[in-house]
Structure 1
Amino acid sequence: MTAVQETTRPGAAVGAEHRARLLEGMARAVAAKGYADTTIADVVREASVSRRTFYENFADKAECLTALYESASGNALAVLRGAIDRQSDWQAQLEQALSAYFGALACNPVLLRTLFIEILGLGMPGLAARRRVNQQLVDLMLEVINQRTGESRGAPLHPAMAVAVVGGINEMVLQSIEQGRAGALQELVAPSAALLRAAISADF
């Protein structure tokens, strides 16, 4: 191990911890007050760090919220990908993955509102961040469905239909949040799976 490694690793670890605490602080502040009314003072108070530490990590609160959104979305996507069993029938894979994905979302209601509502308060930057995440979901869906082999291969999923499915699932989650049913997202597994099967069968 070099001297540079010895001196930089502790600092990097502290920096990563501060960043994680700021993201958690942003999540709690936004959950309590909404993004529009959340200030940097709220975030640093929730995170128990200084304002200086905030600006060492983020240019402004919009950048912090975007980072929170991308981190939480990345975690949910990792859960979704990890739940896919390539050895199983693709329809079983689909339901297992959707169940895991909705479970990951429902287990943290504080973040759920941020992921589906507050991010849009950023305007175009928030919309762009959401589109990037949606595209990752679309790409994964196309990968799993269109790489089927053997007798279960069936019809391919068109990219435009994959976009429509992701949009439909997002709207169902949003409706659940608005109705105060964020803890019951598992109810969306069956309609989401049916939506995807219909999209695959569509004559596009």
Structure 2
Amino acid sequence: MDHERGSRQVGARVPRDQRKLPPGRHGIPADQVADDQRGRILDAVVTAVGRRGYADATVEDFVSGAGVSRKTFYQHFANKQVAFLAAFDGVADRLVTAVHTAYSAHEDYVASAREALESTLRELAADPDAAALGIVEVFAAGPEALRRRGEIISSLTEVITEQTRNFPQTALGASFTAETIVGAVLEVLYNRVQRGEAEQLPELLPDLLFCVVAPFIGEQRATEERAKAQRIATS
């Protein structure tokens, strides 16, 4: 049974060009054709899973959405789960890259955290289907999907730990505090996306920023940073 989340608009996602390649002899190299087919299938996976959920999405949804045959689908992916994992990796790579880029661009932890959160929230809001697949439906896709999610959590935890290792406020240890922060942010994102509120995620920036930086810089300065983020958001 289909189960679209909340009031999320089905047409919100803007995938890559999904026009079919011209039929017959078109002179396009075989590897380019294969890459185009794979890309369209992955876009269709994100759309179908994001809108229907992993359990209800089918291979038929993928092939019809991509405009390819079942034979072509199975030339690229062994089954539904393998296709999901490939789509999940694509979504996760974009988000993790944005976070790593933000933290490598600044020596100041607060500036890094603000940019990382802003990039992540903006990316998810721009593609609600990808947000649903990567944040919510990963829990329905089996042990391998959860293992990959765990690797992402570990990667993000390491990034925060490295930047905050020398803060005196981390009495529980920088790594444990960072892991707690990552888990808490993901839980907030899960709840909002599950309710169909992916497009409103950027509004959470001030509050999430406070939660991410307060354990390291203290409540007073974190409150100031939250207020600053609110002023920027409303200006």
Report if TM-score (shorter chain) is over 0.5.
Answer: yes
Aligned match of 2:85: 66
1:27-42 map, 5 Å: 27-42=46-61
Consecutive unaligned residues of structure 2, counting only runs of 5 or more, are 1-27, 219-235
In structure 2, relative to structure 1, the CA distance for the partners of 1:191 and 1:30 (3 Å cut) is same
How far apart, in 1, do the equivalents of 2:129 and 2:52 lie?
A: 12
Q: Which moved more, 1:120-129 or 1:98-107?
A: 120-129
- Give 1:135's match in structure 2, choosing from 154, 175, 191: 154
In structure 2, relative to structure 1, the CA distance for the partners of 1:143 and 1:11 (3 Å cut) is farther
| Counterpart check, 1:188 vs 2:214 | no
In structure 2, relative to structure 1, the CA distance for the partners of 1:87 and 1:25 (3 Å cut) is closer
Aligned match of 1:159: 175
How far apart, in 1, do the equivalents of 2:120 and 2:101 lie?
A: 10
Q: Which deviations, in whole Å up to 9, do the C-alpha atoms of 1:131-181 show, x marking residues without a partner?
A: 1222222222223334xxxxxx53366222211111100011112123332
| Counterpart check, 1:174 vs 2:193 | no
Q: Which deviations, in whole Å up to 9, do the C-alpha atoms of 1:28-48 show, x marking residues without a partner?
A: 222332221221111011011
> Offset at 1:16?
2.1
> Offset at 1:12?
2.9
Q: Which amino acid aligns with 2:210?
A: A
Q: Which amino acid aligns with 1:43?
A: F
Aligned match of 2:44: 25
- Give 1:199's match in structure 2, choosing from 215, 227, 231: 215
Consecutive unaligned residues of structure 1, counting only runs of 5 or more, are 1-8, 147-152
Higher relative contact order (CA closer than 8 Å, sequence separation 6+)? 2
SS at match of 2:117: helix
Question: Aligned residues, how many?
Answer: 188
- Determine if contact 2:136/2:193 at 8 Å carries over to the other structure: no
- Determine if contact 1:162/1:199 at 8 Å carries over to the other structure: no
- Determine if contact 1:18/1:49 at 8 Å carries over to the other structure: yes
- Determine if contact 1:70/1:133 at 8 Å carries over to the other structure: no
In structure 2, relative to structure 1, the CA distance for the partners of 1:101 and 1:52 (3 Å cut) is same
| Counterpart check, 1:108 vs 2:121 | no
Q: Which deviations, in whole Å up to 9, do the C-alpha atoms of 1:47-89 show, x marking residues without a partner?
A: 1112122112211101111111111110112222333464563
How far apart, in 2, do the equivalents of 1:43 and 1:25 lie?
A: 5
Normalising by structure 1, we get a TM-score of 0.81
Q: Which amino acid aligns with 2:198?
A: A
How far apart, in 2, do the equivalents of 1:10 and 1:161 lie?
A: 51
Q: Percent of pairs identical after alignment?
A: 26
More helix by share: 1
How far apart, in 1, do the equivalents of 2:106 and 2:54 lie?
A: 43
In structure 2, relative to structure 1, the CA distance for the partners of 1:142 and 1:88 (3 Å cut) is closer
- Determine if contact 2:99/2:116 at 8 Å carries over to the other structure: yes
| Counterpart check, 1:75 vs 2:94 | yes
> Offset at 1:201?
6.2
- Determine if contact 1:113/1:177 at 8 Å carries over to the other structure: yes
Normalising by structure 2, we get a TM-score of 0.71
- Determine if contact 1:31/1:113 at 8 Å carries over to the other structure: yes
